[in-house]
Chain A
Amino acid sequence: MAEAGEKTMPTRIAGSLEHMGRAAVAGIAEIGLGAALFVQSLFWIVIGHRRAQPVRIAATFARCMEVGIQAIPIVTLMSITIGIMLAIQGIYTLRVFGAEEQVTIGIGISVVREFGPLITGIIIAGRTGSSLAARIGTMQISQEIDALQVMGINPVRFIVAPALIAMAIMVPILTFWADLVMLAGAGWYVSVDLGMSLPAYVDRITEIVVLEDLFHGLYKAVLFSVLITLVGVINGTSVTGGAEGVGKMTTRSVVLSISAIIITDMVFAYVTTR
């Protein structure tokens, strides 16, 4: 009995290979689903009004408030903190060479190109991505999605498209705001620690940071916003099994969208800066 039940090495390898294969197929299916969702959303945004089924401006505006305006306090707080942290670490590192004054180069470029969009993306993934997944998951369980469908209201148009528009508008704006606040936070620390005057700091920053750097960050923000929305929606729609299912998929949504953001960030940086 024990011998028959014990799995031999080849079967174990075959089993794990099969498992990997299944996971890969499921992952690819999910990416496909995301692409389909994105295309469908664009379709409704562009074609909707011609079919007398427009993407509602009021709904989009409400989402904008939720995604953007209500996130300002937390984004501001995190940005100031990270700005100061960057200044502290930058000065500490450059002190080795006695080149503390050069810290503005590192701060300016890294904030606008990297930290602004990345931190905003992560905050929004935790805030909006999760709430999107939870909201759609709950709607799925309470048959609200079914209700939309049988009412002849396309759920993608009604729920996904407004969220996508709101995210694509608000995340870059929030990123820009985060850039400013981070630079201000870093500037404050630099002026205190190195005795550099604030106007001099601003001069240095505007000298170093060019528009291309700024847009590099903002393009990424748009990309992140789309990723967060799609990951949230896909996880929301695949909720099964009540409240526990909603919790599970919400967590999954946050983990996946943050991973997706970081990986995309690296790929984007590699492709555009080489």
Chain B
Amino acid sequence: MNEPALKSDSAYVRPDLTNAQTMVEVHGLVTHYGTREILHGIDFDVREGEIMVIMGGSGSGKSTLLKALLGLLRPTSGAVRILREDLNAISDVERTKLRRKMGVAFQGGALFSSLNVLENIMLPLREHTALDLNTMRIMARMKMQVVNLSGFEDLMPAELSGGMIKRAAFARAIVMDPRVLFCDEPSAGLDPVVASTIDDLILTLRDAMGMSIVVVTHELESAFRIADRICVLDQGHILMVGTVDEVKSSSNERIQNLLNRRTEEVELDPEEYLRRLTAAND
């Protein structure tokens, strides 16, 4: 099962990032939904030119973590610093400026259904730059070339296939040449072949444009293939942050369970169980 991933592992030379600048820094991040604590103090950083994969099963809090990283969810405590600026401490104007240096490729693409592909990709340029329409078109077409989507400019998002939607989302995310790119489940819902081309795309983007890339995923194969480092998230805690090899050779039982796709029997206190059953009657 891990064969192809291993092969590309040995073929792919990972850059040395030990002295690289920190681009994203998360410190003591705690978030709540209502009264329920979702993330219990998350710390990690992403260096320049690094691909950091945030990996975890469903319910691990990885979507919440991404929301907090993007500034869509205000943390209860702790800080998210992107390019050394605290996302939640700066003014609206500064945050808007900072966001021009961030790109996000959403899971479902989040393309605007009323705009065609080219208009979707041009949108950040239109809103943030004073370029003339022709220049914007050229720039958007260049990005479409990068993601291998040339020739589909005039299609509407509803006419695209799953892989094409992801590509268009990537093109829109990188159109402003961001320093940091966030990808939410880039290979979810795609067949293995298309998923691996998306992995290639992520590697290309980093190598060609030198971006730092944060990928949130639950796909092991994809994570092992593209990650410089992996941050393993479980029930709102970080189990470990390390290279692919470190994660693979980790002796932590929960990580091994995750890697071997073993479901865990959650030990349940009998009293707790009783309380849960009766809670509905309150």
Within 8 A of B (CB), among A146-197: 146-147, 149-154, 158
A154 neighbours in B (Cβ, 8 Å)? 96
Contact A150 B104 (CB under 8 A): yes
CA distance A52 to B100 in the complex (A): 14
Q: Are B124 and A151 in contact (CB under 8 A)?
A: yes
Q: Decide yes or no whether A143 CB sits under 8 A from chain B.
A: yes
Q: Is A53 an interface residue (CB 8 A)?
A: yes
How many angstroms from the CA of A147 to the CA of B103 in the assembled complex?
Answer: 10
Question: In chain B between 236 and 274, which residues have their CB closer than 8 angstroms to a CB of chain A?
Answer: none
What's the Cα separation between A180 and B95 when bound, in Å? 50
Establish whether residues A153 and B127, one from each chain, have CB atoms under 8 Å apart when the complex forms. yes
A147:B127 contact, CB within 8 angstroms? no
**Contact-size category for B:** 20 to 34
Given A150-B72, A151-B127, A142 and B99 touching (CB < 8 A)? no
Query: B104-140: contact bitstring with A at CB < 8 Å (1 yes, 0 no)?
Result: 1011101111000000000110011010000000000
Tell me the B171-191 residues at the A interface (CB within 8 Å): 182
Docked complex Cα distance between A250 and B76 (Å): 33
A51-B93, A150-B71, A153-B127 given as contacts; is B99 within 8 A of A143 (CB)? no
Q: What CA separation (Å) do A110 and B99 show in the bound complex? A: 53
Check B107–A151 contact: CB distance below 8 A: no
The residues of A that contact B95 with a CB separation of less than 8 Å are: 152
Question: Closest residue of chain A to B96, judged by CB?
Answer: A152
Interface pair B128/A152, CB less than 8 Å apart: yes
Contacts of B72 in A (CB 8 A): 146, 149-150
Residues of B within 8 A of A138 (CB): 113
- Among B93, B96, B108, B128, point to the contact of A143 (Cβ < 8 A): B108
How distant is A237 from chain B, measured CB to nearest CB, in Å? 13
B102 contacts chain A at the CB level, 8 A cutoff: yes
Q: Chain A residues near B182 (CB, 8 Å)? A: 150
Cα A53 to Cα B124 with chains together (Å): 11
| B127 A53 Cβ-Cβ under 8 A | yes
Closest CB of chain B to A95's CB: distance in Å?
Answer: 54
Residues on A with C-beta less than 8 A from B110 are 142-144, 146-147
Q: How far is the CB of A13 from chain B (nearest CB, A)?
A: 18
A142 to B99, CA, bound (A): 20
Say if the beta carbon of B146 comes within 8 Å of chain A.
no
Measured CB to CB, the closest approach of chain B to A78, in angstroms, equals 28
Question: Given A152-B127, A153-B127: A143 and B107 within 8 A (CB)?
Answer: yes
* Chain A positions within 8 Å of B124 at CB level: 151-153
Q: Which residues of A contact B128 (CB under 8 A)?
A: 152
User: A142 contacts which chain B residues (CB < 8 A)?
Assistant: 108, 110, 113
> Are B70 and A150 interface neighbours, CB within 8 A?
yes
For the complex formed, measure the closest distance between the CB of A42 and the CB atoms of chain B, giving whole angstroms: 16
CA distance A150 to B128 in the complex (A): 13
In-complex Cβ contact of B100 among A143, A147, A149, A152 (8 A): A152
Cross-interface CB contact of A150 among B102, B107, B111, B113, cutoff 8 Å: B102
User: In the docked arrangement, what's the CA distance between A201 and B96, Å?
Assistant: 60
Nearest CB on A from B102, distance (A)? 7
- Per-residue interface assignment for chain A, residues 119 to 144, with 1 indicating a CB less than 8 Å from any chain B CB and 0 otherwise: 00000000000000000001100111
B81-102 vs A, Cβ < 8 Å mask (1 yes, 0 no)? 0000000000001011101101
Question: How distant is the Cα of A158 from the Cα of B108 in the complex, in angstroms?
Answer: 21
Whether B127 pairs with A143 at a CB distance below 8 angstroms is no
Q: A142-B108, A146-B110 are in contact. Are A151 and B70 (CB under 8 A)?
A: no
- Cβ distance B158 to chain A, nearest Cβ, rounded Å: 11
Query: Which chain B positions have C-beta within 8 A of A151?
Result: 99, 104, 123-124, 127
Q: How far is the CB of B142 from chain A (nearest CB, A)?
A: 18
**Between-chain CB contacts (< 8 Å), 23 pairs:** A52-B130, A53-B96, A53-B127, A138-B113, A142-B110, A142-B113, A143-B108, A144-B111, A144-B112, A146-B70, A146-B72, A146-B110, A147-B106, A147-B112, A149-B70, A149-B71, A149-B72, A150-B182, A151-B99, A151-B123, A152-B99, A152-B124, A152-B127
Point out residues on B near A: beta carbons under 8 Å: 70-72, 93, 95-97, 99-100, 102, 104, 106-108, 110-113, 123-124, 127-128, 130, 182, 281
A-B interface, 6 closest residue pairs, ranked by CB to CB distance from nearest: A152-B99, A147-B110, A143-B110, A152-B96, A150-B104, A143-B106
Contacts A138-B113, A143-B108, A149-B70 given; 9 further ones with Cβ under 8 A?
A: A5-B281, A142-B110, A143-B107, A144-B111, A144-B113, A147-B104, A151-B123, A151-B124, A154-B96
